[in-house]
Amino acid sequence: MNDTARSGRRAGWAAAGGAAALVLLTATGAHAEGRGDVRAVSTVVNGGANVTVGTAKKVTFPIAITIKDNSGVKGLTSVSTFNRSNAYGFFDWTGTTCKKKTSTTSVCTATMSVDPAWIAASDDIDSNKVAGLWTVNATVKANDGDYWIHDAIAAYKVKRASKLTTDAAPEPVAKGAKLTITGKLSRANWESLKYQGFAGQNVKLQYRKAGSAHYSTVKTVKTGSSGQLSTKVTVTSAGSWRYYFPGTTTTARIVSVGDAVVLK
């Protein structure tokens, strides 16, 4: 994307979500200081799961922060989250709810969201490089006016969504004949808002015999330059075939729909 196009998209994104300012604050305004004894004692992002972002659907997830102070907890005054290595981020803080657990402890949950259409305008690099390990900063406040600005209170992964297909042919097939299993692995491109083939990845071919409850791995197949998969197997019984990709630090795990093959 050229600089003129990106600048135009950035202006529109800021107007739509207000999160461009959030990105700048996370990159340049982080501190680890405050006043008094209020502290965030634990932080859980998205219930402990990765956050996966595709090309079209708005993504929303919680950051639950447990806060303690002897006067009681007033709440959160800021929350930001961004890539730990390059300091870019595209999630907007859209609201907070706090639940009092005891006289000194509350759990405040910040809601974070992004529309994938905002992403490419939120940075001046290839937006796909923002996938990976992310961190959370937050400022917490107590009823007596104590506050604390926390850096890096949680780490989690933000991943590009993936797609995976499987097709077995010919169908039906004779016992002892060769079956060709093809497919394709692709992942979200946050610049183009399309899915593109993911090359050079090890994908597991799995088989489940008819009547069985579980799949088992038969072999590992590497994706080609466009994410394509193809391998041959000898058929010994009727059953279902599928591909399974375990994921990477930047790309989500995915399992294809199984393709059932019967014998002639």
- Co-location of 155 and 31 in the same domain: yes
Nearest 5 degrees, angle CA 113-CA 118-CA 120? 130
CATH of the domain at 229: 2.60.40.10
Q: What is the extent of the structural domain holding 216?
A: 162-261
CATH of the domain at 59: 2.60.40.1220
The pairing of beta strand 92-100 with beta strand 59-68: unpaired
Helices then strands, counting H and E runs in the chain, come out as 3, 18
Taking the C-alpha atoms of residue 77 and residue 251, their distance in angstroms, rounded to an integer, is 32
Taking the C-alpha atoms of residue 186 and residue 252, their distance in angstroms, rounded to an integer, is 10
What is the 8-class DSSP label of residue 262?
-
Select from 141, 150, 137 the least CA-distant residue to 69: 141
Last residue of a domain, one of 118, 140, 159: 159
The whole-angstrom distance between residue 197's C-alpha and the CA centroid of its chain comes to 18
pLDDT in tens, the chain (264 residues): 444 344 444 433 433 333 333 333 333 344 568 999 999 999 999 999 999 999 999 999 999 999 999 999 999 999 999 999 999 999 999 999 999 999 999 999 999 999 999 999 999 999 999 999 999 999 999 999 999 999 999 999 999 999 999 999 999 999 999 999 999 999 999 999 999 999 999 999 999 999 999 999 999 999 999 999 999 999 999 999 999 999 999 999 999 999 999 999
Last residue of a domain, one of 129, 159, 189: 159
